[in-house]
Amino acid sequence: MKTFNVPLTYRSPLITAVKNQRKQADKLKKDFTPTLLNFGPLHIYLARHFGFCYGVENAIEIAFRTIDEHPHQRIFLLSEMIHNPKVNADLQERGIQFLQDTYGKQIIPFSDLREDDIVLIPAFGTTLQTEQLLHEKGIKTERYNTTCPFVEKVWNRSEQIAVKGYSIVIHGKPKHEETRATFSHAAAGAPAVIVNDMNDAIELGHFITGTKDPALFYQYFAGRYSNGFDVAKDLRQLGVVNQTTQLATDTQAIAAYLKQLMMDHYQLDEKTIESRFADTRDTLCYATNDNQSAAAGMLGTPADLAIVVGGYNSSNTTHLVELCEEKLPTYFISSADKLLSDHSILHYNFHSKQELETHSWLPKKNPVSILMTSGASCPDAMVEEVIRRLASFFGVESRIDDLVREFNL
């Protein structure tokens, strides 16, 4: 796979050594057990896969290269490059300005843009309407489009099944940049509707089978269906695609539910279901799958707690937290400075959307065992900072250099 030129400050000697060793020992990526960092009184188990994915590294490389190549031009980002506060802050410090927030609210009016300005499209992609607006202003985005190739794969698959007459069901968070972009691209070629979760899929099922008044569809899915959506005819053939950072198991469950419902309603079997339901399993992102599978594999290791590092508005990171907290106490932190001491920790509760302070979070035992992973937009250097901070609580921070040498052997 291609390697990218990202700032060295995002790399970690320790994490790089660990990942290289695991890659050499498991080239087919079949072993999802974690890697033990043995500090004596502290045992940290790192997930087999975590951190920057292909799409994120590609976006970061393009962004920083653009800054270096155009020191005298105004450079804008449509919204956050990725959902990591440090990376976005670094870009802003280099002079990049954000046009919108993560929900599409305008920060700088598009009317302020000039033809010679550079506008970067973030890794999540953007809507066709926004692309058209930029092109009408004479702003060329082709060189500065950092849309993840796996997001574009979803768009291409949507287009392929739309040509065959399928309507598109998008499993995603309705307000997320990627879901808004995917909805725009899907709706350009077919009727489309967004489902947030299984409850939405079940509700959609009532309209597929006709057990609920079609008029109620437009109330329940308000703001989440394409213009002209006709419940009477647009739910007869379906294909499910997803926001690539959703839980893969959730997307699969929603697709399986709707497929079975179509089979039962139209009295079809596995050989004939394709007439009503498209096979779209190939839209699941490899990195999302790998990181989630690694988190699941990590959870088979007995431990006292888990730490997940990443941006609080990062969808893929939130899902890793969701997986971990089913098994053991889990702390979602954005950086090492959230580890206030061996007694206090600041962490994010994504259910209540609040940052909380918890006391007596580290158990008084020897050794303390911690599972650790991070989101796809989290630099490895931030994970190492968390490890160093934890090691300092036990007086074993010097052991990190020894571990780097051991993994490099």
CA distances from 333 to 103, 105, 131, 319, 348 (A): 22, 26, 34, 14, 6
Angle at 252 between CA 152 and CA 249, to 5 degrees: 100
Q: How confident is the model at residue 387 (pLDDT cuts 50, 70, 90)?
A: very high
Q: How confident is the model at residue 245 (pLDDT cuts 50, 70, 90)?
A: confident
> DSSP readout, 159-173?
HHHHHTT-EEEEES-
User: With pLDDT > 90 as the criterion, what percentage of the chain qualifies?
Assistant: 91
In terms of phi and psi (left: phi > 0; alpha: psi -120 to 50; beta: otherwise), the region of 45 is beta
397 labelled catalytic: no
Q: What pLDDT was estimated at residue 248?
A: 86
Q: How confident is the model at residue 247 (pLDDT cuts 50, 70, 90)?
A: confident
- The pLDDT of 365-372, averaged and rounded, is 97
Q: What pLDDT was estimated at residue 4?
A: 87
How far apart are alpha carbons 266 and 357 in whole angstroms? 53
Contact present, 245 and 285 (Cβ < 8 Å): yes
The single-letter code of the amino acid at 133 is L
Q: Is 123 exposed, middle or buried (0-12, 13-18, 19+ CB in 10 A)?
A: buried
> All domains of the chain, ordered by start, with CATH?
8-53+287-408 (3.40.1010.20), 54-144 (3.40.50.11270), 150-284 (3.40.1010.20)
Asked if the peptide bond before residue 41 counts as cis, ω within 30 degrees of 0, the response is no
Segment 84-106, tens digit of pLDDT? 999 999 999 999 999 999 888 99
> DSSP readout, 336-369?
GGG---SSEEEEEETTTTEEEEEES-S-SSSSEE
Q: How confident is the model at residue 282 (pLDDT cuts 50, 70, 90)?
A: low
- The pLDDT of 159-179, averaged and rounded, is 95
- The pLDDT of 271-278, averaged and rounded, is 96
How far apart are alpha carbons 328 and 148 in whole angstroms? 33
> DSSP readout, 128-169?
HHHHHHHHHTT---GGGB---HHHHHHHHHHHHHHHTT-EEE
Q: How confident is the model at residue 1 (pLDDT cuts 50, 70, 90)?
A: low
- CA contacts within 13 A on the Cβ side of 401: 2
Q: How confident is the model at residue 279 (pLDDT cuts 50, 70, 90)?
A: confident
Owner of token pair 């959703």:
246
3-state secondary structure of 239: strand
Q: Which of 57, 80, 131, 178 is catalytic?
A: 178
Segment 114-139, tens digit of pLDDT? 999 999 999 999 999 999 999 999 99
In angstroms, the first-to-last Cα distance of the chain is 23
The single-letter code of the amino acid at 183 is F
- The pLDDT of 210-218, averaged and rounded, is 97
Contact present, 323 and 299 (Cβ < 8 Å): yes
- The pLDDT of 17-46, averaged and rounded, is 96
Give the residue from 67, 156, 74, 168 showing the smallest Cα distance to 112: 74
Sequence-distant (≥ 6) Cβ neighbours of residue 173 within 8 angstroms: 179, 196, 243, 246, 315
Q: What pLDDT was estimated at residue 2?
A: 73
How far apart are alpha carbons 124 and 271 in whole angstroms? 36
